Structure 1
Amino acid sequence: MICKRSLVRRTAVVTVAGAAALVLAACGGDSDNGDASGHDGHGAGSSSASASASASASASASVQEKHNRADVAFAQGMIPHHRQAVEMADLAEGRARSAEVKELAAGIKKAQGPEIKTLSGWLTSWGEDVPAEGGMDHSMHDTGAMMTDEEMTELENAAGTAFDTAFLKLMIRHHEGAVAMAKTEQADGMSAAAMKLAGRIITAQSTEIDRMNKLLGRS
């Protein structure tokens, strides 16, 4: 009888131990599933971060794409145009007789020098070529936008009142070319910054054209 009771107790212990093992196994399975969920969650986070990074990259690319060929043409054309205006203005200091012509030339140089740097910076950021120093698009001569080599030589050889008259006439035509280029940019461009600069060029150089015409006695 005692032996039977002992057997029953052992059976109960084994049964309880087995049940406990099953419970622990189940808990362990839940833990594994929890870890898996954690990994899945991390994976989802990675996917979300990746999507976010992709969206940011797209947004950045969109910003870079907010310019077009008209903007590039404007910058690449205006840089040598401004350089020539600065070159002409440099001649005035030692050759002009009129104090007003010298003052006008100094103002042109002060305004257009920084604009050359701005335009060059845009081209670099757009991955476009910056016109080399001394490089000029001779097709622009036909539009009246730039001086020919012969005209620049004549200006260099002039002095006094003759220089003043030649400088004013040539610079008026030069400014008219710049205004035309700027109006084209406003009509066809996409870059807000480039179109804003074009507007400033139109306003400033139109005012200077009026001033130069008055100095020539044309108005």
Structure 2
Amino acid sequence: MTSSRPELRIGDKERDLVAAVLQDALAEGRITLEELDQRLDATLRARTYADLDALVADLPVDLPSTALSGARPAPEPRPLGGPGSSPDDRLVLDAGWSSVTRRGRWDVPPFLRLNGAVGSVRLDCLQATPLAPTVDVEIDGGMGHIRIVLPDSWAVNTDRLTSQWGMSSIKVSATPEPGAPLLLLHGSVGWGWLTVRHAGFFDRRRLARQAALGRPHRRALGH
């Protein structure tokens, strides 16, 4: 049984579903391309189910708030193996003198090591699937820039992270939402720069467009 809770906060999953519905509406001739762009922008700025309801109220789909049935379930455990499965065999992202990026749809193992060296590391988890409720992340900032981008529901603990002359900018909660993972950061920022944040406007716009263009067939919200 579903219940309408328009005042509740939304996450990236709900924004992606609305983006897909809007693309379907464009393909069916219900809205124009200009309207699609306007509504996608509004989708990225949406914060509650009520905000999303207004964007699809004139379309023949269920309102996002009525599709709400409870908290997201915790991710199902997957068999572990290979890099990242143990503290002695971490998944390593090493920038060296250049840059390295991990983003898109990928599995986040329980153990990682991020080495900034004199380059840059970008760990983008916006479309990632965590394989454990806690992710142990060893930081070696060096003189580089390490950037971590997380979904709204994820959180970070930096109690065991030290710094020499480096700088840290942590803009996420220390407490994850139910079913979401906690990243445990330890090690040293060194002389580098560490940034941990949620998705920005351009991140959300990129994901919304990917979701819209990647779903050519009509689908109902909540399914």
- With the length of structure 1 as denominator, give the TM-score of the two structures: 0.21
Greater per-residue helix proportion: 1
Greater per-residue strand proportion: 2
Larger Rg: 1
